[in-house]
Amino acid sequence: MELFANLAHGFAVAFSPINLLMCLIGALVGTLVGVLPGIGTIATVAMLLPITFGLPPVGALIMLAGIYYGAQYGGSTTSILVNIPGEATSVVTALDGHQMAKQGRAGPALAIAAIGSFFAGCVATVLIAVLGAPLTKLALAFGPAEYFSLMVLGLIFAVVLAKGSVLKAVAMIVFGLLLSMVGSDIETGASRMAFNIPELADGLGFATVAMGVFGFAEIIRNLDHGAEMDRNLVQQKITGLMPTRKDLVDSTPAILRGTVLGSILGILPGGGAVIASFAAYTLEKKLAKDPSRFGRGAIEGVASPESANNAAAQTSFIPLLTLGIPPNAVMALMVGAMTIHGIVPGPQVMQKQPDLVWGMIASMWIGNLMLIIINLPLVGIWVRLLRVPYRLMFPSIVVFCAIGIYSVNNAPVDVVLAGAFGLVGYWLIKHDFEPAPLLLGMVLGPLMEENLRRALLISRGDWSVFLSRPLSAVLLAIAAGLLVLAVLPALRAKRDEVFVESEG
């Protein structure tokens, strides 16, 4: 079997001492990046890229890959402990993860996130090795029309995952879409809602808004008098560190479903991994016997999106390895790393650089093993962090957030903007608006707009293109189905159960 020969070769490459060390460094740095709020993978990989120029190419890429998927492990930590998602892909983890922490179940939440990630990582590694080449066709089959329809579906997910009023969720999505429109118009280059501030010319950063509405707003709320009890609750009532047998039984199907969804959606360039985590959460909520548990600390709501984002982070390497085309910003930096080392990424990279490709694939499995070994014992330490008095904790969170936001673009304006979004976020929390749909709207907005305009440019303004292309039509049909469920009065009772279980 050629596959086994290739994998054996890959493991031989990955098990060399230098590559094992690189893999470990990557996994450690990735975990750290994921844990520190505001410090994102793109900024880290960009900063570390020049350091790798002195390293052998395979080791350099193994390390950079480790940072990328390692961050998906760490990203859940702050979501769960302090309700601040470190990455766009762990926004949904905060919904149930932080509720679990409030109930003293931070340990099981962190552990199940690590276990889910490990399982998904292993499956995705095998998937890359076995199905890498055929799956590439899926990435190519997705044209502008398909992307637009996928983004529509993504926004519908945002409505479904909202636990309060549907109207408020829709308002938040629209607000997120509006925020995403700040910056240069893609087609004409004209400046939109940038108010002549040069830093706004490239739009609002995800980290800026996320740290504001989640991070700073959460801190302001915690410093509120009314929140005193709530806070003490998080600090004092810690029961067991590891998941119980029941937790594992509940999580297993969720992890499996999350892994499948994540593996498929991760291949799509752009927002694949983000959509994957939202889709996984939505699916769990729809399949659950008692959807009202979601948003109140359901362990499936942590297990499924965390598996999905890790699977997606890994399968997003497929277009890079088989086509030589980077599907997202981190991958584009990896292409840069290859170019600097004299490796030209392209469709022949698998034949010409078997050491690199198979070594990287094998290192992913090793890296995942390292990550779970690093992360499971860390659960105890993270949970102990919750016992740190809040008067010491919140200044450190503010400092880390500020450093993180500044480091993305080296722009002081971003930190000021995050502060402003903190106030906005506080107002929203006080009025029972949820920030998660806002962030999804903001992440999906540009992809949706760009692909809508591209699709219409190519079809010369003919809207039927969204229905005449089969993939696009299927995606829209699913979206319409979900929407009908929400709107039709005949299904009101059903809808109440699905969407507004916790109103009031």
Partner 1 sequence: MMSIRSLAGACLSAFAALSAFAAPASAQNYPTRTITMIVPFAAGGPTDVISRIVTAHMAQTLGQSIVIENVVGAGGTTATTRAARAANDGYTLITGHMGTHAASVPLYPKLAYHPEKDFEPVALLAGTPILILARKDFPPKDLKEFVAYVKANAEKVNAAHAGIGSVSHASCELLNSILDVKPVGVPFNGTGPAMNALVAGQVDYMCDQIVNAVPQINAGTIKAYAVATPERNPSLPNVPTTTEAGLPAFQAQAWNAVFAPKGTSPAIIATLNAAAIKALDDENVRKRLLELGSVIPAPANRTPEALATLVKNEIAKWTPVLKPAS
Q: Where are the beta strands (DSSP E) in 399-467?
A: none
Question: By C-beta, is 349 or 402 nearer to partner 1?
Answer: 349
User: Is 150 or 161 the residue whose CB approaches partner 1 more closely?
Assistant: 150
Of 194 and 256, nearer to partner 1 (C-beta) is 194
Comparing CA positions, the residue from 67, 71, 405, 382 lying closest to residue 215 is 405
Provide the residue type at 383 as one letter: V
Which CB, 183 or 253, lies closer to partner 1? 183
Rg (CA), the chain: 22
CB of 7 to partner 1, least distance (A): 24
CA-based angle 86:408:93, to the nearest 5?
Answer: 10
Among residues 46, 45, 43, 120, the alpha carbon closest in space to that of 76 is found at 120
- Closer to partner 1 by CB, 30 or 326: give it: 326
Distance (Å, rounded) from C-alpha 368 to C-alpha 351? 26
* Closest CB 411 distance from partner 1, rounded Å: 8
Pick the closer one to partner 1 by CB: 258 or 345: 345
For residues 235 and 459, which CB has a smaller minimum distance to partner 1 in the complex?
Answer: 459
Of the pair 71, 162, the CB lying nearest partner 1 is at: 71
CB 262 within 8 A of CB 310: yes
CB of 323 to partner 1, least distance (A): 7
Q: Ramachandran region of residue 195, left (φ > 0), alpha (ψ -120 to 50) or beta?
A: left
Using the minimum distance from each CB to partner 1, give the nearer residue, 268 or 482. Answer: 268
In angstroms, what is the minimal distance from the CB of 269 to partner 1? 6
Residues forming beta bridges with residue 191, ordered by sequence position: 184
Instruction: Give the residue from 193, 153, 180 showing the smallest Cα distance to 439.
Output: 180
Name which of 252 and 409 has its Cβ closer to partner 1: 409
Query: Which residue from 313, 210, 328 is spatially nearest to 258, judged by alpha carbons?
Result: 313
Return the amino acid letter for 180.
S
**Exposure on the CB side of residue 224, measured as CA atoms within 13 A:** 15
Compute the least distance from the CB of residue 339 to partner 1, in Å: 6
Report, in Å, the least distance between residue 14 CB and partner 1.
23
Q: Could you give the CA distance from residue 159 to residue 472 in angstroms, rounded to a whole number?
A: 20
Q: Identity (one letter) of the amino acid at 64?
A: L
Hunting for tokens 């509720």 — which residue is that? 99
Shortest Å distance, C-beta 444 to partner 1: 14
- By the 8 A CB rule, do 181 and 198 touch? no
Q: Smallest distance, Å, CB 207 to partner 1?
A: 15
Supply φ then ψ for residue 76, to 5 degrees.
Answer: -75, -25
Query: Considering beta carbons, is residue 286 or 453 the nearer one to partner 1?
Result: 453
Q: End-to-end CA distance of the chain: give it in Å, rounded.
A: 60
Closer to partner 1 by Cβ: residue 244 or 339: 339
Beta-carbon neighbour count of residue 484 at 10 Å? 12
Least distance from C-beta 331 to partner 1, angstroms?
8
Q: Which residues bind partner 1 (CB under 8 A)?
A: 46, 49-50, 53, 139-141, 143-144, 184, 186-189, 198-199, 201-202, 269-270, 319, 323-327, 331-337, 339-340, 342, 344-349, 409-410, 450, 453-454, 457-458, 460
Q: To the nearest whole angstrom, how small is the minimum distance from the Cβ of residue 453 to partner 1?
A: 8
Single-letter code of the amino acid located at 447: L
Min dist CB 200 to partner 1, Å, is 10
3 state SS of 14: helix
Q: Which two tokens stand for residue 301?
A: 């709501």
State the nearest-atom distance from the C-beta of 345 to partner 1, in Å: 7
Gap between the Cα atoms of 298 and 147, Å rounded: 31
Rounded distance, CA 297 to CA 94, Å?
Answer: 10
DSSP assignment letter at 87: S
Task: For residue 472, give the nearest of 87, 15, 209, 151 by alpha carbon.
Answer: 151
For the CB of residue 271, give the shortest distance to partner 1 in the complex, in Å.
12
Using alpha carbons, select from 436, 475, 502, 393 the residue that is nearest to residue 145: 475
Residue closer to partner 1, measured from CB, 454 or 495: 454
